[in-house]
Each structure stands twice: as structure tokens, then as C-alpha cells.
């Protein structure tokens, strides 16, 4: 029995590499920012969906799967998030509270918002407003949840994990997102001007908000 226990104790850390938690007095503030940011992110995505002018590459995939299966798009976001997390195991990426929260909260908020929002916006001007406001809200949400320092989202971690294996992060991101975009488009996801705006505008916007919203990184225990 002791032999089995020793094997298990050596196996678990290899299988799941966990990020350190901050001290308790700091954790609650970070959790609040994390959940607020993820909520904003989900609301921003919902605005982009009802604008119907094009989604981000990953969300084109999510929407395509949703249209083919009848599963709500937010639920697809959750399922895809956990599927991507399985790819973290061979990459030995470090999972945090923020990683799991990202996989769950954004999808829940997205589905909830789409139950409240109108299915479509008939006026083109309103659709543009929804698109642009949605992109900015996603960027602000990203600044809050990334800045909380509690772990990357499943899709971001996949890219950084590949980068640590010697793949250029630019090529890793491009390869993954182009694949998601093409598969999603073939499945019926919406590709349009919103896709282009997201692709070229999200990086600078997230950088802008992250510089203003990020907290001091969580230090490993004992430092």
C-alpha cells in the first residue's frame, strides 16, 4: 500500500502542474477581479454574436459547432475549454484557479446574456455599435482577468505551451487560430468584418488595458 501511495504522490504533480496561490488576504481581491473580468468577457462576446458581423476565430468555431449540434454556444465554449485543457498535460502547462474559471464562467455568462439580449439587431448602425462595444468590453475583461494573475485561459495556455516547446508564439497563435477559423467557417460560424477587427484590434487593446489593470504577479511560496 505504501508503494502505491509513493507512486501516486510522484505521478500527480507530473500530470497536473498547478500555479501557486497568493496569500489569503490577496486572493479575494484577485478572485473578484478575475470573475468581474470573465463576466465582462462573456458579455462582450454576446454583443458580438448578436451584431452578426463576424466573431473571433475561436468563437467562429464555437458558433459553428453550436449550429451543427444545437448545443448553446456558451456551452460549446465550456466543452471546448476543457477539451483544450487536456492538451496542456503533455505540454506541462501550469493550471491556476483562473484557468478553470475561464473555462466555465465565460460560457455561462455568454449563454445567460444571449437569453436576455435580442437574437438579432435589424439596424446596421446598432449592429456596428454592438460589435465595437463588444470588442472593447472583451479587451477590458481580458485586462482584469489576465491582470489578476491567477492563470491563463485554456486557449492562451495552449499557445504559450507550444511556444515553450520552441514554436514561435506568433506562429503558434496563427496556426491555431487559422485552423479554428477555417473549421468554424466550414461548420457555419460567422466570419466577417468583426473577425478582422478582433484579429488586429484585440492585441493592442488588451495591452492597453492590461498595463492599467494588472496586479503584481503572484510570487512562489517562500519568496
pLDDT per residue as tens digits for the range 166-212: 878 778 888 889 999 999 999 999 999 999 999 999 989 988 998 88
pLDDT at 7 over 60: no
Nearest 5°: the CA angle 179, 183, 188 is: 145
Contacts of 138 (CB under 8 A, 6+ apart): 40, 41, 44, 45, 48, 198, 202
pTM for the structure as a whole: 0.87
Residue 12 has pLDDT above 50, yes or no: no
Q: How far apart are CA 152 and CA 165, in angstroms?
A: 17
pLDDT band at 16 (very low <50, low <70, confident <90, very high): low
Residue ranges covered by each domain of the chain: 23-213
How many other C-beta atoms lie within 10 A of the C-beta of residue 50?
A: 19
User: Closest Cα to residue 146, out of 70, 38, 53?
Assistant: 38
pLDDT band at 221 (very low <50, low <70, confident <90, very high): low
Amino acid at each position: 500500500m505504501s508503494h502505491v501511495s509513493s507512486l501516486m504522490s510522484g505521478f500527480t504533480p507530473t500530470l497536473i502542474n498547478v500555479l501557486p496561490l497568493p496569500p489569503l488576504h490577496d486572493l479575494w481581491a484577485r478572485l473578484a477581479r478575475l470573475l468581474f473580468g470573465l463576466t465582462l468577457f462573456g458579455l462582450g462576446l454576446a454583443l458580438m454574436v448578436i451584431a452578426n458581423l463576424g466573431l473571433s476565430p475561436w468563437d467562429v468555431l464555437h458558433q459553428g459547432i453550436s449550429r451543427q449540434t444545437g448545443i448553446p454556444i456558451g456551452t460549446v465554449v465550456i466543452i471546448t475549454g476543457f477539451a483544450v485543457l487536456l492538451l496542456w498535460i503533455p505540454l506541462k502547462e501550469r493550471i491556476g484557479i483562473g484557468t478553470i474559471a475561464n473555462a466555465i464562467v465565460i460560457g455561462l455568462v455568454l449563454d445567460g446574456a444571449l437569453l436576455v439580449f435580442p437574437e438579432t439587431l435589424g439596424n446596421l448602425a446598432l449592429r456596428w455599435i454592438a460589435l465595437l462595444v463588444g470588442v472593447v468590453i472583451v479587451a477590458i475583461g481580458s485586462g482584469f482577468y489576465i491582470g489578476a494573475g491567477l492563470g491563463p485561459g485554456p486557449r492562451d495556455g495552449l499557445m504559450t505551451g507550444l511556444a515553450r516547446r520552441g514554436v514561435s508564439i506568433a506562429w503558434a497563435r496563427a496556426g491555431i487560430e487559422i485552423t479554428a477559423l477555417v473549421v468554424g467557417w466550414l461548420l457555419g460560424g460567422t466570419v466577417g468584418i468583426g473577425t478582422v477587427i478582433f484579429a488586429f484590434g484585440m492585441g493592442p487593446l488588451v495591452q492597453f488595458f492590461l498595463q492599467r489593470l494588472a496586479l503584481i504577479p503572484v510570487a512562489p511560496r517562500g519568496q
